[in-house]
Amino acid sequence: MFEVIKTYFSRFYISQKFYFLFFIFLSTKCFSFNIQEVANGVYVHYGVQEESNPENKGDIANIGFIVGKKSIMVIDTGGTQIIGKKLLKEIRKFSQLPISHIVITHSHPDHFFGTEAFLNEKAKIVGHEKLNRSLINNFTFYKNLQYTNIGLETIKDLKLVKADLLVDVNKEEVIDLGGRLVEIKAWNSGHTDNDLSVFDLNTKTFWSENIFVERTPSIRASILGWRKNLLDIMAMDINLIVPGHGKAINKIEAIKPMISYFNRLITQIRSFHVDNKSLQESINSILQKEIINPSNVNKESWILFTEYHYTNITKAFTELEWE
Ligand SMILES: [Zn+2]
């Protein structure tokens, strides 16, 4: 009998311990904030490949920083103030140099809602010439969207931080971080109408939110423009791509699936226009194909495909209608 009680208690103890450890695991899983050095002095925090939700707290975009001999450049600040604070805390573990620049790669909330956390750093905030206009027009909408998806009360208090160093379209701004030149380029419309890339000349690391790895690219501005931008990037001498979403990989692996997806979409939509199909008829015909054989529609096995593919069709349909 005593043995039975002992076993019962030890089981109880083990299960308590198990739940305790499991709880710790869960909470660290939700709040873990890792930084990886992907090239010498180039640090990335990978966002999860999900939609923003209360568990991931909007931590879905790649953000990070580049360290020079004189100063640090931050690239995007994350989807909430909490993520911005975490990024700043991590930066301070690596370096105490001043943060001279914060680059906002484009106006989507998962990339810039953490900027408030950096205000004491007095850094220059770098953006595309069309960034501020987009921020002003969409800020209230994005705030409501982030609050609805993530549910954090602090999102309601967020203040808009605009860029104060604007880069003209098709121009490059070269920033010297001390023994390290970084080229910031403003692109023609692709993912959005205010896409910026960051090119670290020392390591030939190219950071671009125009590149989506594994996650379905979401067309918000122009499919033809985006494809052209990708082909231009393909022609550049690049060692490593840091995408806006997904892991850092080589140029060809990063860009090929996107080109193949965009080409298929463009061909398909042009044929719908030739046949005088309406948008609804076009979507229905693709939906039917997807029901019969999903892998034939999502050939590159994109994540979050259904969430973005049909809005991509809608966007591309209107763009290609007037060719
Ligand atoms: Zn985006």
Domain boundaries, the chain: 33-256
Residue with the bigger pLDDT between 25 and 238: it is 238
Ligand 1 centroid from CA 191, angstroms: 7
For residue 82, which phi and psi values (nearest 5 degrees)? -60, -40
State the burial class of residue 218 (Cβ atoms within 10 Å of its Cβ: 0-12, 13-18, 19+): middle
CA-closest candidate to residue 109, choices 134, 133, 79: 79
**pLDDT for 286:** 87
Ligand 1 centroid from CA 24, angstroms: 32
* pLDDT at 46 > cutoff 50: yes
Ligand 1 centroid from CA 229, angstroms: 15
Ligand 1 centroid from CA 19, angstroms: 38
Handedness of CA 140, 145, 148, 150 (dihedral sign): negative
Ligand 1 centroid from CA 61, angstroms: 8
* pLDDT at 300 > cutoff 70: yes
Ligand 1 centroid from CA 209, angstroms: 7
Question: 3 pLDDT band (50/70/90 cuts)?
Answer: very low
The chain-wide mean pLDDT, for the chain, equals: 91
**pLDDT for 262:** 98
CATH, range 33-256: 3.60.15.10
Ligand 1 centroid from CA 110, angstroms: 7
Ligand 1 centroid from CA 98, angstroms: 28
Question: 289 pLDDT band (50/70/90 cuts)?
Answer: confident
Question: 314 pLDDT band (50/70/90 cuts)?
Answer: very high
Beta carbons of 164 and 125 less than 8 angstroms apart: yes
Question: 32 pLDDT band (50/70/90 cuts)?
Answer: confident
CA distance 183 to 197: 8
Cα torsion through 43, 48, 49, 54, rounded to 10: -150
Q: Could you tell me the pTM of the whole model?
A: 0.88
Tens of pLDDT along 137-183?
Answer: 999 999 999 999 999 999 999 999 999 999 999 999 999 999 999 99
CA distance 16 to 181: 54
* pLDDT at 276 > cutoff 70: yes
Ligand 1 centroid from CA 303, angstroms: 15
CA distance 158 to 114: 9
Residue with the bigger pLDDT between 75 and 7: it is 75
Question: Cβ of 201: how many Cβ atoms within 10 Å?
Answer: 11
Percent of the chain with pLDDT over 90: 85
* pLDDT at 18 > cutoff 70: no
Summarize the confidence of residues 48-52 as an average pLDDT: 96
Beta carbons of 248 and 64 less than 8 angstroms apart: no
* pLDDT at 50 > cutoff 70: yes
Instruction: Tell me the one-letter amino acid at 183.
Output: E
Strand order in the sheet with 181-186: 172-176, 181-186, 196-200, 205-212, 240-245
Ligand 1 centroid from CA 285, angstroms: 28
Ligand 1 centroid from CA 217, angstroms: 9
CB neighbour list of residue 10: distance below 8 Å, 6 or more residues apart: none
**pLDDT for 16:** 53
**pLDDT for 217:** 98
